[in-house]
């Protein structure tokens, strides 16, 4: 039997039980019923359990998913998803709507940000899904710790590789010895899709426009977690924003965050507008903290896009657009404080892993906190930021990509990024998004500049 990841009810139920506990519901009675029936725990690292469930268990999982969705949350007041409610929680957010729009970032700055996103993603791809200790041991075995360049298999002891093999999807394209341009990755596909979104619909696009674009241009097999659930929901006739909520235990994971860059790039100096744009995109697939992660990232990039602020101001501004009592805001604040206090970043990472040990490795809260800590600790330096973000584990390629995008934008020019990161990319991106396969990062920068310059 085909075991399709991220959609089978018996695999979703365990994730939803964890999500319910995290977002302030009381799922214990439902959990007891599931376990008494012999229901499995959620798959630990991937999206499907190895064996199919009985028809009874599958039907029970569907019923329990719906029952869990009806449970009230004690955090609902502090963590709304509606944009108007979010804005009531964030009166300190800057609103520049009445001021002249600042000039778009120079194409060179946008190219540096695109390159930074690609290089950071590529750095993290071979070690995605590996535990923190494995990442450290693999890097140390080749003298690449603290992390300072792409991972390599050359010199890694065979027993260590047998114990902790590279990510199987990425080993052939993302180790230093075999990089040949930027391989396809969803962390780059979504910015491409959002370029198309703005070209077709402008900044006033709706969430329904996002959905339509996905159905036209995004292969279903290139979606994961919350995006795959929302895609399935669309095909079942469910409309946004219910697509984000219906049987979607991944709605606070990292997927919306990795779609946020274009919204920041195209709203220079207007973090509130960037956050609102990211919100309309994110609510197709996410709720609450999953949406906030995208808004925070877009606002941070919009601030960086002016070329007038350091990383600390950018991150602080990003925090102003999300509810201050949310789990995400508290996690980012804590992570930044750790990074400001501890000179050894491993100490910061160890503390973050202790605090967030019960949270899934793809969840938006710990990953966004790690990105903020990495950028703070490196003071926005490109190499320091991407290496710290990836060395902290969890969703390594997504964290490296976002840290690289922000740090690259702050660097302001491709020549400011070390050649060891950019030369292997060969100014070439692979993707299944139609019309973009083989496109150069310089071309993407000019396309982005065009959208950022629209009135």
Q: Whole-structure pTM over 0.85, yes or no?
A: yes
Asked if residue 408 and residue 372 are part of one domain, the reply reads yes
Categorize the per-residue pLDDT at 236 as very low, low, confident or very high, splitting at 50, 70 and 90: very high
| Mean pLDDT for the stretch of residues 378-401 | 98
Whether residue 132 is contained in a domain is answered as no
d(CA 87, CA 85): 5
Residue 90 CB contacts under 8 Å (≥ 6 apart), including other chains: 320, 321, 322, 323, 324
Short-list 403, 378, 376, 368, CA closest to 389: 403
- State yes or no: 270 annotated in a binding site: no
Does any domain span residue 208? yes
Can you state the angle between helices 132-141 and 382-391, rounded to 10 degrees?
120
187 is in an annotated binding site: no
Residue given tokens 């657009």 in the structure block: 321
Q: Nearest-CA neighbor of 442 among 180, 187, 190, 112?
A: 112
Whether 173 is in a domain gets the answer: no
Q: Is the domain of 374 the same as that of 438?
A: yes
Q: Has residue 171 been placed in a domain?
A: no
Same domain, 65 and 91: no
* Pair (403, 447) in one structural domain: yes
Contact 205, 198 (CB under 8 A): yes
Mapped onto helix, strand or coil, the DSSP state of residue 63 is helix
Number of domains in the chain: 2
216 and 318 in a single domain? The answer is yes
Residues 447, 300 share a domain: yes
Query: 43-50: long-range contacts (C-beta < 8 A, 24 or more apart)?
Result: 43/11, 43/14, 45/129, 45/361, 46/5, 46/129, 47/5, 47/6, 47/7, 47/11, 47/224, 47/225, 48/3, 48/4, 48/5, 48/6, 48/8, 48/11, 49/3, 49/8, 49/10, 49/11, 50/3
The answer on 187 and 65 residing in a single domain is: no
pLDDT attached to residue 220: 93
Q: What is the CATH number of the domain that holds 415?
A: 1.10.4080.10
pLDDT in tens, 168-223: 989 999 999 999 999 999 999 999 999 999 999 999 999 999 999 999 999 999 99
pLDDT digits (tens, 9 = 90+) for 2-12: 678 899 999 99
253 beta partners: 363
Q: How far apart are CA 261 and CA 67, in angstroms?
A: 35
The tens digit of pLDDT for each residue in 37-93 reads: 999 999 887 788 888 889 999 999 999 999 999 999 999 999 999 999 999 999 988
Q: Which of 237, 301, 291, 309 is nearest to 270 (CA)?
A: 301
Whether 169 maps to a domain, the answer reads: no
- CA angle (24, 45, 135) in 5-degree steps: 110
Task: Judge if 311 and 368 occupy the same domain.
Answer: yes
Half-sphere exposure of 9 (CA within 13 A, CB side): 18
Structure tokens at 157: 């002891």
pLDDT of amino acid 99: 64
| Residue 397, marked binder | yes
Evaluate whether residue 78 is within a structural domain: no
Domain check: are 54 and 95 in the same one? Answer: no
| In contact, 361 and 254? CB cutoff 8 Å | no
Range of the domain at 308: 83-122+183-452
- pLDDT digit string (tens) for 416-443? 999 999 999 999 999 999 999 999 999 9
* 430 alpha carbon, distance to own chain's centre: 19
Residue 373 domain-assigned (yes or no)? yes
- What the block records as the tokens of 172 is 């052939």
Domain check: are 112 and 260 in the same one?
Answer: yes
Phi, psi (degrees; rounded to nearest 5) at 363: -65, 145
| 404 and 436 assigned to the same domain | yes
Shared domain check, 250 and 334: yes
- Over the stretch 19-43, which tens digit does the pLDDT of each residue have? 999 999 999 999 999 999 999 999 8
In a domain, 383, yes or no: yes
Residues 6+ apart with CB under 8 A from 303: 269, 271, 309, 313, 314, 317, 318
């Amino acid at each position: 039997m085909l075991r399709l990841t991220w959609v089978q009810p018996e695999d979703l139920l365990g994730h939803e039980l964890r999500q319910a506990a995290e977002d302030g519901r009381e799922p214990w009675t439902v959990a007891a019923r599931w376990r008494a029936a012999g229901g499995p725990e959620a798959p630990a690292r991937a999206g499907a359990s190895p064996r199919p469930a009985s028809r009874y268990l599958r039907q029970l999982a569907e019923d329990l998913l719906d029952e869990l969705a009806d449970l009230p949350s004690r955090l609902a007041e502090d963590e709304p998803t509606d944009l108007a409610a979010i804005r009531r929680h964030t009166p300190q957010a800057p609103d520049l709507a009445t001021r002249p729009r600042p000039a778009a970032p120079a194409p060179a700055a946008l190219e540096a940000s695109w390159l930074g996103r690609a290089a950071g993603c590529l750095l993290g791809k071979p070690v995605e899904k590996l535990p923190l200790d494995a990442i450290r041991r693999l890097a140390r075995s080749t003298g690449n710790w603290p992390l300072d360049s792409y991972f390599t298999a050359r010199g890694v002891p065979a027993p260590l590789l047998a114990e902790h093999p590279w990510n199987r999807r990425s080993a052939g394209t993302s180790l230093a010895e075999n990089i040949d341009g930027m391989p396809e990755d969803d962390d780059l596909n979504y910015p491409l899709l959002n370029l198309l979104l703005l070209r077709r619909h402008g900044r006033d696009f709706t969430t329904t426009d996002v959905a339509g674009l996905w159905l036209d241009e995004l292969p279903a097999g290139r979606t994961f977690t919350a995006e795959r659930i929302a895609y399935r929901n669309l095909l079942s006739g469910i409309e946004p924003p219910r697509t984000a909520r219906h049987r979607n235990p991944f709605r606070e994971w990292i997927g919306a965050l990795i779609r946020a860059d274009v919204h920041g790039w195209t709203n220079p100096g207007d973090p509130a507008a960037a956050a609102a744009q990211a919100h309309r995109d994110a609510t197709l697939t996410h709720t609450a903290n999953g949406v906030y992660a995208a808004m925070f990232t877009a606002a941070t990039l919009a601030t960086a896009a002016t070329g007038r602020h350091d990383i600390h101001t950018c991150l602080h501004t990003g925090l102003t657009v999300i509810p201050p009592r949310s789990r995400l805001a508290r996690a980012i604040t804590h992570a930044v404080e750790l990074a400001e206090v501890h000179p050894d970043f491993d100490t910061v990472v160890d503390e973050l892993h202790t605090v967030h040990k019960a949270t899934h490795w793809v969840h938006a809260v710990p990953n966004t906190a790690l990105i903020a800590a990495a950028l703070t600790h490196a003071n926005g330096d490109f190499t320091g930021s991407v290496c710290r973000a990836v060395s902290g584990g969890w969703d390594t390629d997504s964290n490296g990509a976002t840290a690289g995008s922000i740090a690259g934008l702050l660097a302001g020019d491709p020549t400011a990024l070390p050649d060891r990161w950019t030369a292997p990319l060969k100014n070439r991106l692979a993707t299944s998004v139609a019309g973009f396969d083989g496109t150069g990062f310089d071309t993407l920068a000019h396309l982005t500049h065009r959208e950022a310059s629209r009135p």
